[in-house]
Structure 1
Amino acid sequence: MQKITPSQHNLDRLLDAKIGTSFDTSVNPDVLAQLLADKRSLNTRRAYERDVVQFFKFMTGKEVTPDLVLEFLHLERTQAVSVVLKYKASLIQKGLKEATVNRRLAAIKSLVSMGRKIGVCVYGLEDVSGEKVQKYRDTTGIDVDAFKRVLAVCDRSTVQGSRDYALLRLLWGNALRRNEISQLNIGDFDPDAKTLRILGKGQGTQREVIDLAEGTVEAITQWVSARGDALDDTPLFTSLDYAKPGHRLTGDGIRKIVVKLCSKAGIKKTMSPHRIRHSAITAALDATDGNVRKVQKLSRHRQLDTLMIYDDNRGKDQAEVSNLLDEMIF
Structure 2
Amino acid sequence: MTSSLVKSNSTVNSISGVAQSLDDVWTDFLKLHISPNTKRTYAAALDDFFTQLTGAIANPDQIQEFLNLSQHQAVGVVLKYKGLLLDAGLAPATINTRLSAIKSLTNHARKLGQCRFSLEDIPHVRVEKYRDTSGVDAAAYRGMLACVDRASFKGKRDYAILRLLWDNALRRGELVATNIQDFRDGQLWIVGKGKTQLQSIDLAARTVYALQDWLAVRAGTADEPIFIALDGRSYGQRLSGRSVARLVAGIGKAAGITKHLSPHRVRHSAITTFLDASGGDVRTAQRLSRHSRLDTLMIYDDNRKGLQGKASGVLADLV
Task: Bin the TM-score by the shorter chain.
Answer: 0.7 to 0.9
List alignment gaps of at least 5 residues for structure 2: 1-17
Alignment partners' CA distance in 1, 2:68 and 2:221: 51
User: Which of 266, 291, 295 lines up with 2:281 in the alignment?
Assistant: 291
Letter in 2 for 1:283: T
Q: CA deviation at 1:42?
A: 4.0
Instruction: Confirm whether residue 36 of structure 1 aligns to residue 30 of structure 2.
Output: yes
SS of aligned partner of 2:189: strand
User: Which of 57, 73, 77 lines up with 2:71 in the alignment?
Assistant: 77
Instruction: Confirm whether residue 27 of structure 1 aligns to residue 17 of structure 2.
Output: no
Letter in 2 for 1:29: L
Letter in 2 for 1:299: S
User: Which of 272, 287, 300 lines up with 2:290 in the alignment?
Assistant: 300
What does 1:48-87 correspond to in 2, within 5 Å? 48-60=42-54, 64-87=58-81
User: Which of 224, 231, 246 lines up with 2:215 in the alignment?
Assistant: 224
User: Which of 187, 194, 214 lines up with 1:202 in the alignment?
Assistant: 194
The verdict on how the C-alpha distance between 1:93 and 1:242 changes in structure 2, with shifts beyond 3 A counting, is closer
SS of aligned partner of 1:156: coil
Alignment partners' CA distance in 2, 1:290 and 1:246: 42
Q: CA deviation at 1:209?
A: 1.7
User: Which of 233, 246, 260 lines up with 1:243 in the alignment?
Assistant: 233
Note if contact 2:35-2:195 (Cα within 8 Å) is conserved in structure 1. no
Q: CA deviation at 1:37?
A: 4.2
Q: CA deviation at 1:291?
A: 1.2
| Deviations, residues 148-176 of structure 1 (Å, cap 9, x unaligned) | 11111112222222222221111111111
Count how many residue pairs are aligned between Structure 1 and Structure 2.
301
RMSD, aligned α-carbons: 2.3
SS of aligned partner of 2:22: coil
TM-score normalised to structure 2 length: 0.85
The verdict on how the C-alpha distance between 1:290 and 1:117 changes in structure 2, with shifts beyond 3 A counting, is same
The verdict on how the C-alpha distance between 1:185 and 1:32 changes in structure 2, with shifts beyond 3 A counting, is closer
The verdict on how the C-alpha distance between 1:56 and 1:166 changes in structure 2, with shifts beyond 3 A counting, is closer
Alignment partners' CA distance in 2, 1:123 and 1:242: 48
TM-score normalised to structure 1 length: 0.82
**Which stretch shifts more, 146-155 or 162-171?**
162-171
Partner of residue 275, structure 1: 265
Alignment partners' CA distance in 2, 1:324 and 1:160: 51
| Deviations, residues 269-305 of structure 1 (Å, cap 9, x unaligned) | 1101111111110011111111111111111111111
What does 1:30-179 correspond to in 2, within 5 Å? 30=23, 31-38=25-32, 40-60=34-54, 64-179=58-173
Note if contact 1:28-1:34 (Cα within 8 Å) is conserved in structure 2. no
The verdict on how the C-alpha distance between 1:184 and 1:78 changes in structure 2, with shifts beyond 3 A counting, is closer
SS of aligned partner of 2:125: coil
Alignment partners' CA distance in 2, 1:71 and 1:231: 44
Partner of residue 206, structure 2: 215
Alignment partners' CA distance in 2, 1:106 and 1:324: 43
Note if contact 1:36-1:48 (Cα within 8 Å) is conserved in structure 2. no
Instruction: Confirm whether residue 260 of structure 1 aligns to residue 253 of structure 2.
Output: no
**Which stretch shifts more, 212-221 or 247-256?**
247-256
The verdict on how the C-alpha distance between 1:27 and 1:164 changes in structure 2, with shifts beyond 3 A counting, is same
Note if contact 2:93-2:127 (Cα within 8 Å) is conserved in structure 1. yes
| Deviations, residues 57-101 of structure 1 (Å, cap 9, x unaligned) | 444456644333333323332332233233333333343332233
Alignment partners' CA distance in 2, 1:143 and 1:54: 37
Alignment partners' CA distance in 2, 1:210 and 1:102: 29
List alignment gaps of at least 5 residues for structure 1: 1-24
Alignment partners' CA distance in 1, 2:70 and 2:228: 51
Alignment partners' CA distance in 2, 1:94 and 1:240: 33
The verdict on how the C-alpha distance between 1:229 and 1:283 changes in structure 2, with shifts beyond 3 A counting, is same
Q: CA deviation at 1:40?
A: 4.7
Alignment partners' CA distance in 1, 2:294 and 2:29: 31
| Deviations, residues 92-117 of structure 1 (Å, cap 9, x unaligned) | 33433322332222222222212211
What does 1:6-25 correspond to in 2, within 5 Å? none
Q: CA deviation at 1:314?
A: 1.0
